[in-house]
Amino acid sequence: MNVIRKTVSAIMGTGAPTTERFSLFSAELEKEYTIDAYLPGKHHKNNSNRFPFVLFNDGQDLPRMDFSGILQKVSNEWADQPCLIFGIHCNERRIREYGTARQPDYKGRGDLAPAYTRFILQELLPALRVRFPLSENPADAAIAGFSLGGLSALDIAWAHPEVFGQAGVFSGSLWWRWHEVRDDDPDADRIMHDIIQQTAQPDLRQRFWFQCGGLDETDDRNNNGIIDSIDDTMDLMRALRNKGIPEQNLRYLELPHGRHEPATWGEAMPDFLHWLSERGERG
């Protein structure tokens, strides 16, 4: 594993958010990953503090939404306890690495999701902790992503509540299924829904944030007048409630004009960051 070359002192300045880019080689996936580290404007220079943090799948999309500018606008909310943010760039194997670790979808996509999960837990996080003062409290740790990256983030967080207490899903690919759509039951066979429903003892302290756009897509497989991305998200949130996740631990943002693109996710980002700032201590 490569050692991250940037120290925390290199990004702990004052004023506007700072971005540092570094690379990390994954022995698990035999690939080098580009990581962007973001630090909001107002923060402490004392490295002895341990900071909340967020990992973003599809980190290459953050600059496309002027993420540094968004951070600067919301930095006052994090003045007392800033949050370190890391954008993990995807690569040409995105469709294989993102997905659900339990199984690929019915077309075999997501076959590297178990290895990607191990990369996050066993390679990336330990490497980040070498150089950055990350909190050890799961309530301070979040993972998020866009589209298929959002599905991946949700899957990793749900499977590892001892690491991630929060997950953010922007336009999540929650349609991910182990069988093609069936005419007699078009909403069956969704893998992430099944995973949640089959979990015996979920961690009820976890928090989940979801966003959908009214123009995310046009498909309506069950002909109920609601596009599939919204239907899938509503059904998944219902599954979380049925498992006992408290209502106050769920947040849903729907942008009627929102599309499946970084501009919409950037519009939703302040809501997500504000929601993170409201995190509480886990018991």
Question: Is 199 part of any domain?
Answer: yes
Question: Is 1 part of any domain?
Answer: no
Question: Is 56 part of any domain?
Answer: yes
For 72, the token pair is 């600067």
Q: Which residue has the tokens 């290199």?
A: 10
Report the CATH number at residue 132. 3.40.50.1820
If one counts the domains in the chain, the total is 1
Are 91 and 58 in contact by the 8 Å Cβ rule? The answer is no
pLDDT score of 18? 81
Question: Is 282 part of any domain?
Answer: no
First to last CA, the chain: 34
Question: Is 156 part of any domain?
Answer: yes
- The full DSSP string for 165-226 is SEEEEES--TT-BSSPPBTTBTT--BHHHHHHHH-SS--TT-EEEEEEEEES----TT-SSS
pLDDT score of 224? 95
pLDDT score of 282? 46
Threshold 0.95, pTM exceeds: no
Are 22 and 35 in contact by the 8 Å Cβ rule? The answer is yes
Helix (H) or strand (E) holding 70, with range, is helix 67-74
For 205, the token pair is 């302290």
Domain that includes residue 164, residue range: 8-277
pLDDT in tens, the chain (283 residues): 344 443 333 333 345 568 889 999 999 999 999 999 997 654 444 456 788 999 999 999 999 999 988 988 887 666 566 789 999 999 899 999 999 999 999 999 999 999 999 999 999 999 999 988 899 999 999 999 999 999 999 999 999 999 999 999 999 999 999 999 999 999 999 999 999 999 999 999 999 999 999 999 999 999 999 999 999 999 999 999 999 999 999 999 999 999 999 999 999 999 999 999 886 544 4
Question: Is 102 part of any domain?
Answer: yes
Closest C-alpha to 37, from 19, 52, 23, 51: 19
Question: Is 283 part of any domain?
Answer: no
Question: Is 3 part of any domain?
Answer: no
Closest C-alpha to 33, from 71, 87, 84: 87
DSSP summary character for residue 229: H
